[in-house]
Structure 1
Amino acid sequence: MSRRDICVVIRTGVDSDEQERVRGTQQLRRLLLQSGVEGARLLRNGETSDGAKAGDAVVVGALIVSLAPAVLTSVVAMIQSWSARAAGRTVEIVEDGRSLLVSGLSEEQQRELIADFRRRWSAAADEETSDGRAPT
């Protein structure tokens, strides 16, 4: 299976301000780039995870991350660890209308959710291939 783009949405808590969200987004982006993803860039206003309809403004707290399915488990574990380091942080991973909230999970819950996410990811890729469309 080839590279996929996911959207990573960061929420830093009700007591945080925009500067804190910007710092958190930058910090998580650096960690993602060090973790083996192919790319991590700021989401543009109106853009979807496939890059469609990009506007000029950056969406604070949202990244488009390009990765191979093989690194999904380690990326989710790293995001979970990062979100647990500060009170109120939550991270949501969105891909093709499916989402996974990666915050406050036990290891078992994390494994189950990742397995489900990967099954849905694989099923979507199989469906795209059977439709004659190339997977992204």
Structure 2
Amino acid sequence: MNTGVSRLTLDLAGASDTDADELQALGEQLRRALLELDVEDVRLARPGTAAPEGAKPGEALAVGALVVTTAPLLVRQVLQLVDTWLRNRPLRSVKVELDGAVIELGHASAEDQRRLIDAFVEARTQQAGTSPSGE
């Protein structure tokens, strides 16, 4: 029964002085943090998964890339965790792809990031024809 499952691809974009080993370590840190949520799975993306637009052919894109499998109701929590986690890390941004839609979380203000996440989740919810999770 895999109905109602969301797969998010997260691509970590390091700062100009972030090397592949550091990006790999940061990806592992984020993976461990995400596993503390009630997500189904978080895996390191393997080479051959969809490359980010504009990526150079032959780049080892699996470094710093994760695939999160979760219930749709947890998508907002995943994005909020990524946003909070990103704040004190040497990264430019984390690009998140879900069902062909992309959101890039960076170092905008907390309020701007919250609005961006809310708009992204609402658009995905409306597209899926489900109501957003509310209290």
Shorter-chain TM-score range: 0.7 to 0.9
Q: Deviations over 1:33-82 (max 9, x none)?
A: 1122211101122224xxxxxxxx87111111011222222222211121
1:21, 1:103 → 2: CA distance? Answer: 16
Pairing 1:59–2:56 present: no
In structure 1, the residue matched to 2:44 is: 42
TM-score norm. by structure 1 comes to: 0.76
Quote the Cα distance in structure 1 between the aligned partners of 2:18 and 2:114: 29
Root mean square deviation, CA, Å: 2.2
CA distance in 1, matches of 2:99, 2:41: 18
Q: Deviations over 1:74-129 (max 9, x none)?
A: 22221112111123441111112211111213232222212221122123323xxx
Task: Count matched residues.
Answer: 119
> Which letter maps to 2:46?
R
Listed as ranges, the matches of 1:11-90 within 5 Å are: 11-48=13-50, 59-90=62-93
Query: What is the TM-score normalised by the length of structure 2?
Result: 0.76
Deviates more, 1:13-22 or 1:114-123: 114-123
Can you give the 5+ residue segments of structure 1 that lack an aligned partner in the other structure? 49-56, 127-136
Contiguous gaps of at least 5 residues in structure 2: 51-59, 130-135
Alignment partners' CA distance in 2, 1:8 and 1:85: 17
8 Å contact kept, 2:11–2:95? yes
Higher helix share: 1
For residue 71 of structure 1, what is the amino acid of its counterpart? L
Q: Aligned to 1:122, what secondary structure does the other structure show?
A: helix
> Quick one: percent identity of the two aligned structures?
31
Change (3 A) 1:112 1:22: same
